[in-house]
A and B are shown apart, each in its own frame.
Chain A
Amino acid sequence: MFKLNRIKFLLFVTVFFLFEFCSTKKEKQRVVNSTFEIINFDATSNFQSNETKVKTIALDYKNAMKGFLIPSANQVAEGFFKFKFELKNVSSSTQKFYYKIYYENISYKFNEFDSISKLEHELAQENFYGSWENTDLSYREVKSELTSGSLIAIEDSFRIVGNPRNEMRYFSEGKNDRWKRNPRVGNYQLKLVVCTASDLKQIPIEIQNISLKKNERFLNPFYYFNYGLGKKLKETLVINDPVFLNVYAKPDLGSGIFIKSDALGTDKYDKSYFCNTCGENEDLYRNAPLQQFINYVDSSTKFNNIPLLKDILKDDYTQIDYNWDKSFYTKEELIPTFIQTSKKPCQTVYSDPTTHSLKIKNPATTPGEWKKESVGVITRHGMTYGKYRVKVKLTELLNKSGVWNGLTNAIWLITQGGGEWNFRRICNSSRGYMATYWGGINDKRVKAVDYSEIDFEIIKTPPYCPSNKFPPVFDNPVANNKNINNWHTKTPDDLIESRDKITVACTNWDMACMEPKKFSTGCNSLDYQGKTYHTFRWDSVYRALTEKQEELDDELFAGPFYYFEIDWRPTEIIWRIGATPDKMRVVGYMNDDVTAIPNNQMLLIITQEYHNTTWWPGAPFAQDNLPFPLNDIPGEIYEIMIK
């Protein structure tokens, strides 16, 4: 008898588990309280329905100048995600129910819960979260009252848009410029909140209507429901879709380059190089993800250059040649010049629709023209945070004799500008940010600025740290052709081993905000993942913090391509490089202990640009002592990925 009961018991358990296993296989999600049940919440039921962990969607750049839509009408029918769930009244009475969908970017956010204050994190309101576009639509009422035991299936829709809180800050002339606060890339958590009428009265109006503020602050619903009073609501259920929505940006580099007239500083420019894939037509305006970048040229870029044309990379222009040319041109022979930018847009940038890549070049020049012209491209859609990874083949910087060709390869983020709408977080130090980028040491300090910049600048210049090594001591030449040793000065012995190296300079322009608790000047150390990084700031009013690391020029630029990544996060910035995406290594690291991390909207720029070497003290080659380019200097951009 005992044996028979045992067999029955085992049979029952087996059937039970089988039943449950099948149920699990069908992904039956059920969340219940004493009043009702929510079953099978699927936030994006009409998109990638087979995915069980992460659904991935790219930002659609088509016609996105007014702001990205996730999804767009090109990606999902009608351009909305459909969310579904079943609601069952398990109480003994007929009830009215209400629901709302929330989404939040969880890749680039501040933790909603501040473990020190035990309250909502002060900066949680900066997180990118939203709900329905019409923020006045607080909670939706389920069509009809549910009687006890009844079940109803509900389907609704939403999409992720810019400026999801409809903040007036991003309005202009009565229009909601959603592009000023574009959706972030990364993972989104999709959250459904369902409650009864009585609980709805307890939910603060600022949580119901996320466009409203309390005491001048937005209240983050994710804090409210996960950690705050919302967690204690008895007749409210909060359900997260277990499947994340991952958003990334990969602009199609073959879909053209837009030329923005006001970037050229004049409306009279040569359009002879315009074509289908480069210009200012309506199609390019609406759809091109990048435009030609025109560097700002200020008077400090003026220099007097030797009157020589060379292809430094190919002509084997040696250190001897450099030293001779440095000494034996007279003042009258030098060419007074500025670093130039393109006067013929589209001449030096090309979007290839076949290879989906971009080609750029610093153009050759001729005697009489004598020009060193920078070239670059800039994205047109601003974003906040993200892992910006580019795959590029930019020009080599050193020839086989170790002589620099005068260019800086730069991959950098710059503020989208705009003034108040794009102001950074207030600098709470007693003195604030330096007001302008260009103002000198006597610039005033202000609470907020819109200027921000995060750079990779790769150039031939020595590291600032350790401090005992900087600056290298260079002999001054004597222009005496009767003694070779007078003009052919030695390379300092401490630079010889760096002959074939260039410096990767990683910079955050924090506008000298002193709020970070370890704000400092000179050389300082910062550890990250077992490695020490050396930060450098010239003085307390210098607007940038830089880390420099030497790398082999051949490794970065002599191969078919290389990857550069700026990982811009709310509290830290990580710079990485590598030959493949899975073998990236960190070359720079900063966090908010040492520098103010920007939180405004920025654009990505990729350039091959000429710098005045007075900006880089200690540089072994002076820009004005390097020849003009005899031939075009090409570069190619294969991929931009922002995740």
Chain B
Amino acid sequence: MHLNCITNMKFKLVILFFSLLLSCKNKEAETAYTAKAEEMRSVALLYKEELPIEELEDLRISRDVFYSGKKALYYTPQMEFSAGFKVNFSKVSRIETCDSLEVNLKYFTKQKLNGLKVVWTIDDENGKNLSWSGSLIENNKVSTWADFRLGFKLDKKLANKNNVLNIYVWNPAKDEIWIDDFNFNLFDIYYEKQNDSNVNCNFYYDFESNKDIIKTECIKESEAHSGKMTCNLSDGEEYGITVKKPLYLFGNEVIKKLAASIWIYPKQKEHDLILTFSCKDKATGDFKFWQGKSTIDGAFELNKWTKLNSAVNLPFEKFNLDDEIEICIWNRGKTAILVDDLHIVFGEQPERKSEPNLIGNNASTTSLAAQQTLLYDTINTRFLSNFHPNDFILTAPFYQPQKGLESMVHIKNNRVQMHCYEAQKNSFNLVWETSNLNHPFLVKNNIFFAGDFDNDKTSEILIVNKQTLFWELYHFKNLSWELKTKGTNLFPSQWCNSKHINVSNVLYSNNKTVLLKCNAYGIETLSLIDGNWTIGEPKILPQGFEQKDTDFLLDWNNNSFLKLNTDWRFDVKLLTLVDHKLTIDKNIELTKNKKGLNPKYYEHTKLWTGHFISTKSKHLLVSYLNCANADYNGLNCTTIENNDMFPNGISFYH
């Protein structure tokens, strides 16, 4: 290990100058990305090094704030550069095979960072800078130690034993920050691995685009099976397209089988076109595997599109992760022929997810008594049909004449409506609405909760401004919403993420409304006591199951709750509370709606419970819709998708 501490101001300025110059030049070449740890996986670790912070003794060390050991690097607002690494590549064996660099550190700051960068550079043996890359630490956590990890693909040309690698943290905005566990790794391969649980093995090529296709010369606009473009071998060309896929794309899945199909349009008799599967040894160029299926033995009519299906078993024990499987079109017969719509599937049905903690469906002992089915109710929900994931629906007995029945306040970005159930009409009717953008319910950056927060037997809507943390209580009086209480102290900021926070009226014996959220330690509560928001220590403890912070709890009947989690699948459990302990009583299933679809199939689901129809029992309101955002991960859906096969909806269940 060789350590270099960059302290000379002039040198710093030179570095800054070159960095600015090279950042423009190398921007295109820069292939840095910010990735989560699970998106990178090494095949072989070439070299690693950790900064020996415990051994440093200078101004840049803090003994008061650290993550591990007894020391951490400390940037005062006056400090711009950290201690870092300088590594001569001659020390790294097989550096020429190095493909990627990973930098890890932990950081702690008390404010939002304004430009802190982790920088790595490569210089030649004469000190000439060959590459400069800097990545911002953005959207940082505050007042808590957080991880930062970066991965970079290393240009092969830079992986030269004569070059020198520098890594440091650059603090141009002079933020105050502590850094610990600062290390880096060099790997001999780089790849962007798919998320382990979402490995895509299916690939379609309709040739309308050349993306991912090698040897595209045959792709032309001509008579096509789909679209306009085809791999056109009408002149009897021998080779068509090729697709290559490295096995590391599939993460932990061992690919034992490969299936593919193409559509063939033979224009001449005695055709012999082969769909081939192969893998070559990268070192020798010899085939590790080759197999093909020809059109010779099939039933193909001339001048007609016919499908050729094929499947092969792969000798997976011969393969390495960096091996590439090639799928090619070989027109061995050199007759006039068209090819379209290549479909490739790697592997077979992937192994199912292992999640022991989802056992509440305990397979070996489940009886029907452990499952409860809630039935679809035909009550008209058209009044909520324009629900969007960013809307709020607040339910509580706001409207006194309803005598305990819960009303629904639906807050959209430009309109608020309140509906109440009318038994005689068996429908929900509009009681109040507004489109006044100055109304507190329509002010931006507000979040809302409903309940009897001040325990005075009337229900309120709690409005919290996420930015200012100011809060207010409103109640429905005289056919309008009036301010009841204006908070004098701030609402706790960590309770402003409303996605997994709900209210409960039954957690405590006095039926006081509290906000609650789940974590592994139990249920945290937030309640209004004498005008102050007080966080309660987790007293309600899960028994026999692992609770997650993505669990969403809803009051149900008597001493029971519904627990919703949609991390992996729509999973609803009925929990009972006895002596501050929550146990799983039943799995909850929903029946299909009138269109024969179950809400659990949808990408975005939301639940509300309440005495909407009757004061004697609760109904469950379920919103189910699909999201058009391509990268939707369950958190933020900005655009709803209308899918003919899965029409969106919102329904009652009981």
Contact = CB atoms under 8 A, between A and B. Distances in A.
A469 interface: yes
B643 A480 contact: no
Contacts of B354: 330-332
Nearest to B605: A481
A540 B372 CA distance: 54
A469 B259 CA distance: 12
Interface string B347-363: 11111111110110101
A330 B358 contact: yes
Interface string A327-354: 0111111110000000000000000000
B507 to A, nearest CB: 29
Given A330-B352, A331-B353, A482-B603, 20 more contacts: A316-B596, A328-B568, A330-B355, A330-B356, A331-B354, A333-B358, A334-B363, A466-B297, A468-B306, A468-B307, A469-B307, A476-B202, A476-B347, A479-B197, A479-B352, A483-B603, A484-B603, A484-B646, A489-B202, A494-B309
B543 interface: no
Contact of B634 (A320, A482, A484, A493): A482
A119 to B, nearest CB: 41
Contacts of A324: 598, 600-601
Contacts of B364: 335, 368
A-B complex: 5 closest residue pairs judged by Cβ atoms: A468-B298, A466-B299, A328-B569, A475-B202, A473-B261
Contacts of A471: 259, 309, 311
11 contacts: A307-B361, A318-B596, A468-B295, A468-B308, A473-B343, A481-B568, A481-B603, A482-B603, A484-B626, A488-B601, A494-B309
B297 A494 contact: no
Interface residues of A, number: 47
A476 B363 contact: no
Interface in B354-389: 354-356, 358-359, 361, 363-368, 370-371
A437 to B, nearest CB: 24
Contacts of B351: 331
A478 interface: yes
B602 A482 contact: no
Contacts of B442: none
Most B-side CB within 10 Å, residue of A333, A334, A470, A478: A333
Contact of B566 (A368, A481, A522, A622): A481
Contact of B309 (A368, A472, A484): A472
Nearest to B354: A331
Given A466-B299, A468-B309, A484-B646, A335 B363 contact: yes
A366 B368 contact: yes
Interface in A512-529: 522-523
B353 A468 contact: no
Contacts of A367: 366-368, 370-371
Given A482-B627, A484-B601, A494-B309, A368 B198 contact: no
Contact of A468 (B202, B300, B366, B627): B300
Contacts of A469: 298-299, 307, 309
Interface in A435-480: 466-480
A473 to B, nearest CB: 4
B323 to A, nearest CB: 20
A470 B311 CA distance: 8
A331 B352 contact: yes
Nearest to A469: B309
Contacts of A180: none
A326 interface: yes
A29 interface: no
A38 B367 CA distance: 82
B569 A481 contact: yes
A475 B344 CA distance: 8
Contacts of A494: 307, 309
Contacts of A334: 352, 363
B198 A480 contact: yes
Interface string A539-564: 00000000000000000000000000
B566 to A, nearest CB: 7
Contacts of A328: 568-569
Contacts of A476: 201-202, 345-350
Contacts of A478: 198-201, 350
Interface in A280-333: 307, 309, 316, 318, 320-321, 324, 326, 328-333
A333 B361 contact: yes
A592 to B, nearest CB: 25
Contacts of A522: 297
Of the four ranges (under 10, 10 to 19, 20 to 34, 35 or more), the interface on chain B belongs to 35 or more
Contacts of B602: 484
A522 B294 CA distance: 13
Most B-side CB within 10 Å, residue of A324, A480, A522: A480
A486 interface: yes
B67 interface: no
B646 to A, nearest CB: 6
B366 A307 contact: yes
A533 to B, nearest CB: 14
A492 B345 CA distance: 12
Most A-side CB within 10 Å, residue of B343, B347, B601, B634: B601
A312 B638 CA distance: 38
Contacts of A486: 198, 200
Contacts of B17: none
A332 B358 contact: yes
Interface in A5-56: none
Contacts of A483: 603, 632
Nearest to A483: B603
A473 B367 contact: no
Interface string B286-305: 00000001010111100000
Contacts of B645: 320, 488
B197 A480 contact: yes
Nearest to B371: A367
Contacts of A481: 566, 568-570, 603, 634
B6 to A, nearest CB: 45
A473 B259 contact: yes
B343 A307 contact: no
A479 B568 contact: yes
A324 B356 CA distance: 19
A328 B632 CA distance: 19
A329 B295 contact: no
A295 B298 CA distance: 37
Contacts of B201: 475-476, 478
A471 B258 CA distance: 11
Nearest to A307: B363
B105 interface: no
Most B-side CB within 10 Å, residue of A335, A468, A470, A481: A468
Contacts of B603: 481-484
Given A324-B601, A328-B569, A329-B352, A368 B366 contact: yes
B348 to A, nearest CB: 7
A474 B596 contact: no
A9 B338 CA distance: 87
A316 B596 CA distance: 9
Interface string B330-350: 000000000000010111111
